[in-house]
């Protein structure tokens, strides 16, 4: 049986990243992070603000090499592009996207506190994780046992690593949410 995503499940999707603000452009340039890779961000669509807007996720890089690797990884995405903040045309386009009246909601692939995020996941997704583990692994975890979830961001996508005893699994966070 396939469960259609409804309003309730969409609201439950975790949105861990920061909203990208115009003031970050100069700050990134000061840090020599001149490249931004853009891609579609479906987690942003569950954000209560302006749900009808197209959501874009930006990841920052200090060198073209890293940005190119990221771009290659998301090359089939319709919003996949490299923005070079030192190029006026790119900067202008980004500022247009950041305008509150634009059709875009822009996020930045950074979390303010990894610990807070992991605590949020621990607080809100323990039943999901238990269901996922029971269904997809041979782990037999006692009710009071501890499983350590750790978050990883890979090419704008959220992954979770679960460790129990000497075993480790790495799963798309989306799969945990859907469990």
Which positions lie near another protein, rule CB under 8 A? 61, 63, 65-66, 68-70, 72-73, 76, 114, 150-155, 157, 159, 161, 168, 170, 172
Residues ≥6 apart with Cβ < 8 Å to 166: none
Q: How far is the CB of 144 from another protein (least distance, A)?
A: 25
CA 13 to chain centre: 11
Count of residues in the chain: 179
* Closer of 55 and 158 to another protein (Cβ): 158
Q: How far is the CB of 161 from another protein (least distance, A)?
A: 5
* Closer of 98 and 133 to another protein (Cβ): 133
* Closer of 50 and 77 to another protein (Cβ): 77
Give the C-alpha separation, 166 to 12, whole Å.
31
Q: How far is the CB of 90 from another protein (least distance, A)?
A: 21
Q: How far is the CB of 72 from another protein (least distance, A)?
A: 7
Beta pairing class for 54-61 and 104-108: parallel
Give the C-alpha separation, 63 to 32, whole Å.
9
* Closer of 50 and 118 to another protein (Cβ): 118
Q: How far is the CB of 138 from another protein (least distance, A)?
A: 11
CA atoms within 13 A on the CB side of 157: 13
Give whole-number Cα distances, 154 to 38, 74, 104, 140, 168, in Å: 14, 11, 22, 29, 17
* Closer of 31 and 154 to another protein (Cβ): 154
Residue in this structure with the two tokens 């995020």, named with its chain if needed:
117
């Amino acid at each position: 049986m396939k469960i259609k995503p409804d309003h309730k499940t969409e609201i439950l999707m975790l949105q861990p990243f920061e909203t990208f603000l115009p003031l970050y452009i100069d700050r990134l340039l000061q840090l020599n992070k001149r490249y931004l890779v853009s891609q579609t961000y479906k987690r942003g669509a569950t954000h209560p603000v302006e749900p009808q807007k197209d959501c874009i996720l930006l990841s920052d890089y200090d060198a073209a090499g890293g940005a190119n690797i990221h771009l290659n990884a998301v090359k089939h995405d319709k919003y996949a592009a490299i923005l070079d903040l030192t190029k006026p045309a790119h900067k202008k386009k980004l500022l247009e996207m950041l305008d509150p009246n634009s059709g875009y909601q822009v996020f930045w692939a950074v979390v303010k506190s990894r610990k807070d995020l992991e605590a949020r996941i621990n607080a809100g997704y323990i039943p999901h994780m238990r269901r996922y583990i029971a269904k997809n692994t041979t782990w037999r975890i006692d009710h009071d046992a501890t499983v350590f979830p750790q978050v990883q961001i890979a090419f704008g996508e959220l992954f979770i690593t679960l460790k129990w005893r000497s075993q480790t699994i790495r799963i798309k966070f989306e799969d945990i949410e859907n469990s």
